[in-house]
Structure 1
Amino acid sequence: MLPTPEQVKAYIQAGLNCTHIEVEGDGQHFFATIVSPEFQGLRPVQRHQKVYAVLGDRMKAEIHALSFKTLTPEEFQA
C-alpha cells in the first residue's frame, strides 16, 4: 500500500521537532516543507541528512521520491 502525505508527515514529525510541516504527494512522489529549530546552524546537506535519517528504511521501501525544503523558524518567517 502506498503511503499518504499524512503518513509521510507523521513519520517526519515522529523524529523531528517541527514547528511547521506541509507534505504533498501522490503516494510515490512527495514534496515537503519542513521547519524545525533542529536545523539551526546546519548546512543544507546536513539538514537533508537529518530528514533522511528520520525516514530511514521507509525511503527504500515505501517512499519512492521525496523532495523537500528545510528551514529554521527564523528563515520560514522571513
Structure 2
Amino acid sequence: MLPTPEQVKNYIAAGLACQHLEVEGDGQHFFATIVAEGFEGKRLIQRHQLVYAALGDRMREEIHALSMKTLTPAEWRQA
C-alpha cells in the first residue's frame, strides 16, 4: 500500500521537531516544505540528511521520491 501525504508528514514530524510542515504527493512522489529550528547553521545537504534520518527505512521501502524545501524559521518568515 502506498503512503499518503499525511502519513509522510507524520513520519517526518515524529522524527524532527518542525515549526511548519506541508507534504503533497501522489503516493510515490512527494514534495515537502519543512521549517525547523534544527536546520539553523546547517548546509542544504545536512538539512536533507536530518529529514532522511527522520524517515529512516521508509525512504527505501515506502517512499519512491521526496523533494524538499528545508528552511529555518527566519528563512520561512522572509519567504
Unaligned runs of 5+ in 2: none
Kindly indicate whether residue 9 of structure 2 is the aligned counterpart of residue 3 of structure 1: no
For residues 51 and 43 of structure 2, what CA distance do their matches in structure 1 show?
13
1:38 positional shift: 0.5
TM-score between both structures, scaled by the size of structure 2: 0.97
Runs of at least 5 residues in structure 1 that lack an aligned partner in the other structure: none
Q: Which residue of 2 aligns with 1:15?
A: 15
Aligned residues: 78
Q: Residue 6 of structure 1 aligns to a residue in which SS?
A: helix
AA aligned opposite 2:33:
T
- State, as a whole percentage, how many aligned pairs show the same letter: 73
| Structure-2 residue corresponding to 1:28 | 28
Measure, in 2, the Cα distance between the counterparts of 1:18 and 1:52.
14
SS of 2:75 mapped into structure 1: helix
Whole-angstrom distance in 1 between the partners of 2:53 and 2:16: 10
How much is the aligned-residue C-alpha RMSD, in angstroms? 0.4
Structure 2 SS opposite 1:77: helix
1:70 paired with 2:58, answer: no
In the alignment, is residue 60 of structure 1 matched against residue 60 of structure 2? yes
Q: Which residue in 2 is equivalent to 1:49?
A: 49
- Once superposed, which parts of structure 1, at least 4 consecutive aligned residues long, lie more than 6 Å away? none
Q: Deviations over 1:23-73 (max 9, x none)?
A: 000000000000000000101110001101111110110000000010000
- The 3-state SS of whatever aligns with 1:38 is helix
